[in-house]
């Protein structure tokens, strides 16, 4: 069977103005990325702020057109028209339940909106569907007539999940769905998302800057840096057999005693580069403890590793001979 979703050679370049009087310059947020999301898997997409995760998600959702490359659903390349029909099958859950819920609408109105937009069922069956879906996400029927401002952050994210699932989608794209929540509430929402995946046979793309959060749910992990997927690895291999120095730095940051703080600078030495002026060669070389002259001169190519791939000269049989020092 073809992958549920596939990206082929996707590039997205924005034009940005640097400073108040700066000239307009290109910023490549996603650079020639190819990626498969297989049916039933949870693909975790992890990387620091600005690496291109949300841009990738928006392209998959049809909210942004790629500059070049193809999006395939069930192996079929999509035009703009098909994307509208597919909106039913692919639903997003975004980070901020505060801004993504209309404050003037009741919870019943918010959750039933997708049914009303697509003209599914009459008013009574829509109300029943809302009640059933609220139950699925662990909210009592009485919240139907309340408003987002009367709910906690965790309850609001449950509402956003109910709204996404009421269309019975096959694929759910979660972009930092727990980042705005308290740590204790985060794990409840993660567990809920895991339960829902089993109950409805969902396929997830799960995005977070926090590897610990991704690792909790994912069956496969894709690591993003400066618009590239620099490694993709099955979760089983993540701790013992991942290969990229950046993946390893992220893992170390998860294993240090203060989880949830992202990537401590002590692991990576210096700040994330400006994507307008990416480093030459391997984009990670200024922060990589294994970098050689080759790394600043030439970008590594993707090579197969375990059942995924890695982009690093150390792991490319043709360039590894140049050594690590
Ligand atoms: P975060 O973890 O902070 O959400 P991200 O990995 O989701 O980050 P993106 O939002 O995809 O990153 O942004 C990738 C790069 O593209 C960033 O440098 C960002 O400033 C830039 N960018 C994103 N959207 C636009 C836009 N509409 N116009 C110009 N630049 C953009
Ligand atoms: Fe480090 Fe070089 Fe590998 Fe890049 S290619 S991750 S700089 S060793
Ligand atoms: Mg983002």
pLDDT tens profile 89-128: 899 998 776 677 899 999 999 999 999 988 999 999 999 9
- Higher-pLDDT residue of 300 and 255 is 300
Ligand 2 pocket check for 243: Cβ under 6 Å: no
Ligand 2 pocket check for 285: Cβ under 6 Å: yes
Supply the mean pLDDT for the chain.
90
Average pLDDT over residues 7-15: 97
Ligand 2 pocket check for 268: Cβ under 6 Å: no
Ligand 2 pocket check for 290: Cβ under 6 Å: yes
3-state secondary structure of 243: coil
Average pLDDT over residues 84-93: 81
pLDDT score, position 17: 87
Pinpoint the alpha helices (H) of 137-182.
153-165
Kindly give the distance from the C-alpha atom of residue 43 to the centroid of ligand 1, in angstroms, as a whole number.
20
Domain residue limits, the chain: 5-89+169-322, 97-168
Q: What are phi and psi of 8, to 5 degrees?
A: -120, 115
Kindly give the distance from the C-alpha atom of residue 55 to the centroid of ligand 1, in angstroms, as a whole number.
6
Strands 171-175 and 24-37: unpaired
For a ligand 1 pocket test, name from 10, 47, 54, 213 the mutation site with the most ligand atoms within 8 angstroms of its C-beta. 54
Average pLDDT over residues 236-257: 88
Give the number of the ligand closest to the Cα of residue 50: 1
pLDDT score, position 192: 94
pLDDT score, position 94: 86
pLDDT score, position 322: 62
pLDDT score, position 264: 47
Would the pLDDT of 197 be above 90? yes
Residue nearest to atom 7 of ligand 2 (CA): 285
Q: How many CB atoms lie within 10 A of CB 188?
A: 16
Q: How far is CA 193 from CA 70, 186, 202, 270, in A?
A: 29, 11, 10, 34
Give DSSP secondary structure letters for 111-147.
HHHHHHHTT-S-HHHHHHHHHHHHHHTT--GGGGGS-
Ligand 2 pocket check for 281: Cβ under 6 Å: no
The angle, 0 to 180 degrees and rounded to 10, between the axes of the packed helices 123-136 and 153-165 is 130
pLDDT score, position 19: 77
Q: How far is CA 127 from CA 110, 116, 167, in A?
A: 11, 11, 14
Kindly give the distance from the C-alpha atom of residue 175 to the centroid of ligand 3, in angstroms, as a whole number.
7
Would the pLDDT of 289 be above 60? yes
50-76 residue pLDDT tens:
999 999 999 998 889 999 999 998 888
Give the number of the ligand closest to the Cα of residue 249: 2
pLDDT score, position 262: 52
Closest ligand 1 atom to 275 CA: 18
User: Which pTM does this prediction carry?
Assistant: 0.92
Decide if 244 contacts 68 (C-beta within 8 A).
no
Q: How far apart are CA 262 and CA 285, in angstroms?
A: 20
Q: What would the two tokens of residue 218 be?
A: 């994912």
129-163 residue pLDDT tens:
999 999 999 999 999 999 999 999 999 999 999 99
pLDDT score, position 77: 82
Fold that domain 5-89+169-322 belongs to in CATH = Rossmann fold (3.40.50)
Pocket (CB within 6 angstroms of ligand 1): 14, 16, 27, 29, 47, 49-55, 209, 275
Residue with tokens 């800057």: 209
Kindly give the distance from the C-alpha atom of residue 282 to the centroid of ligand 2, in angstroms, as a whole number.
6
Ligand 2 pocket check for 206: Cβ under 6 Å: no
28-38 residue pLDDT tens:
999 999 999 99
Residue with tokens 């080759």: 294
Kindly give the distance from the C-alpha atom of residue 56 to the centroid of ligand 2, in angstroms, as a whole number.
23
Residue with tokens 């993946």: 247
Q: How far apart are CA 90 and CA 165, in angstroms?
A: 10
Would the pLDDT of 277 be above 60? yes
pLDDT score, position 223: 98
Would the pLDDT of 306 be above 80? yes
Ligand 2 pocket check for 39: Cβ under 6 Å: no
Closest ligand 1 atom to 227 CA: 14
Ligand 2 pocket check for 249: Cβ under 6 Å: no
Task: Quote the ipTM score.
Answer: 0.98
List, in sequence order, every residue forming a beta bridge with 174; answer none if it has no partner: 93, 206
């Amino acid at each position: 069977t073809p992958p549920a979703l596939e990206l082929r050679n996707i590039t997205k370049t924005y034009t940005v103005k640097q400073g108040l009087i700066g000239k307009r310059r290109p910023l490549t947020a996603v650079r020639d990325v190819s990626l498969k999301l297989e049916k039933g898997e949870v693909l975790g997409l992890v990387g620091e702020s600005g690496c291109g995760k949300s841009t990738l998600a928006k392209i998959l959702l049809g909210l942004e057109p790629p500059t070049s490359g193809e999006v395939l659903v069930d192996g079929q390349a999509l035009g703009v028209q098909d994307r509208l029909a597919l909106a039913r099958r692919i639903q997003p859950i975004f980070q901020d339940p505060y801004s993504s819920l209309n404050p003037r609408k009741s919870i019943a109105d918010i959750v039933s909106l997708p049914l009303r937009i697509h003209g599914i069922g009459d008013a009574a069956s829509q109300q029943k569907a809302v009640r059933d879906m609220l139950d699925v996400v662990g909210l009592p029927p009485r919240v139907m007539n309340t408003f987002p401002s009367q709910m906690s952050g965790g309850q609001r994210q449950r509402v956003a999940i109910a709204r996404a699932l009421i269309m019975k989608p096959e694929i759910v794209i979660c972009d930092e769905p727990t980042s705005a929540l308290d740590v204790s509430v985060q794990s409840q929402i993660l567990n809920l998302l895991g339960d829902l995946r089993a109950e409805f046979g969902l396929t997830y793309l799960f995005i977070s800057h926090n590897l610990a959060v991704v690792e909790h749910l994912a069956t496969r992990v894709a690591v993003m840096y400066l618009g590239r997927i620099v490694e993709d690895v099955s979760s089983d291999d993540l701790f013992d057999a991942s290969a990229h120095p950046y993946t390893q730095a992220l893992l170390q940051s998860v294993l240090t005693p203060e989880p949830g703080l992202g990537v401590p600078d002590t692991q990576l030495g210096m700040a994330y580069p400006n994507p307008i002026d990416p480093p030459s060669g391997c984009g990670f070389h200024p922060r990589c403890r294994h970098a050689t002259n080759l790394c600043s001169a030439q970008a590594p190519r993707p090579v197969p590793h375990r059942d995924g791939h890695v982009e690093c000269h150390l792991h490319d049989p043709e360039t590894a001979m140049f050594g690590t020092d």
